[in-house]
Amino acid sequence: MERQNSKTLAGFKAAVSLILDGEVSAGLEQLETVDGQDIFKNMVKAEIAYYRDDLKNAMYYDEHALSSDSLWYDPLVTVQHLRAYVYAAKKLGSISRAKEFLDYYISVKRDEFDIVGVRPFNDLYYNAMRRLDNEKAHDEPPKVKILTKETAKGDVIFFSDSNNPEIMAHAATIALNSMWNVVETEKVLGVYEKYAEYIPLDTHHLWAARNYVKMQNPEKAEAALMRFVNLWKPSECFQVLPMKVFIFKDLTEFLSPEFKDKILKTKKRHE
């Protein structure tokens, strides 16, 4: 984080803490009292805007922050924001605007890094451009497959005789890694549901949510997503919301304004 006096830093942290606690309006008011930190403030505002379906402003805030992504350590932050940015651009029909920004973004990265160091940014750029042109991107997550007994490629592989639910959940977590899109869907979800409250890996909650979306079971999809939200914890000082959901087109399209508002108001894990 850029160097500022202790009062400015404390004010920024206080604003972020309020937002993470679900007090979004109070947090934004606090944020406006903080001097400087414009890049990080824009990242905070972008995340809130995406969850409020304020897509035009979300794009604006990302356009005024993402090219400075050398200021943070976690590269997934940029990946997730760019997915949300492209989603917003397509939703608004702002394709030309998005392409202009992406051209600017990659020009900054190519000035910052040599031909080897810039490769991950080139990948981000080209995949974002492919999505804007409705072409197949090279970093799409696997599509969900609803498998029956006849179409499954394997069976449940899960053995544990412990009565401790946390130990069982650990075993289930390992087993689930090789079960999604392989084992009969109902059986996989049976293992997931039995230990869901204890499963510590967010990936499984997202897999479950995506399966339930595909199966048109919104209640269970939302329950799985809330488990994901309750596990989520920011990796950077400005993160206030779990942007990982925007990686998945099916989840992005599933999220209703009401459910996104619920996530906004949910207290998140943080220091």
CA–CA separation, 89 and 95 (whole Å): 6
Q: Where are the domains of the chain?
A: 6-132, 142-231
Tell me the per-residue pLDDT of 203-224, one tens digit each, with 9 for 90 and over.
999 999 999 999 999 999 999 9
- Say how many C-beta atoms besides its own lie within 10 A of residue 97's C-beta: 15
CA–CA separation, 189 and 37 (whole Å): 44
Note the pLDDT of residue 2: 46
pLDDT tops 70 at residue 5 = no
Place of tokens 């006849």: 150
Tell me the per-residue pLDDT of 135-192, one tens digit each, with 9 for 90 and over.
999 999 999 999 999 999 988 766 566 678 778 888 889 999 999 999 999 999 999 9
pTM above 0.75, yes or no: yes
Of the candidate CATH numbers 2.30.29, 1.25.40, 3.10.20, 3.90.380, the domain formed by 6-132 belongs to 1.25.40
The chain-wide mean pLDDT, for the chain, equals 94
256: three-class secondary structure by DSSP: coil
pLDDT tops 80 at residue 256 = yes
Q: Grade residue 87 by pLDDT with cuts at 50, 70 and 90.
A: very high
pLDDT tops 50 at residue 76 = yes
Please choose, from the candidates 160, 228, 162, the residue with its C-alpha nearest in 3D space to the C-alpha of residue 199.
Answer: 228
Note the pLDDT of residue 160: 62
Alpha-helical runs (H) found in 196-248 = 202-214, 218-231
Q: Grade residue 3 by pLDDT with cuts at 50, 70 and 90.
A: very low
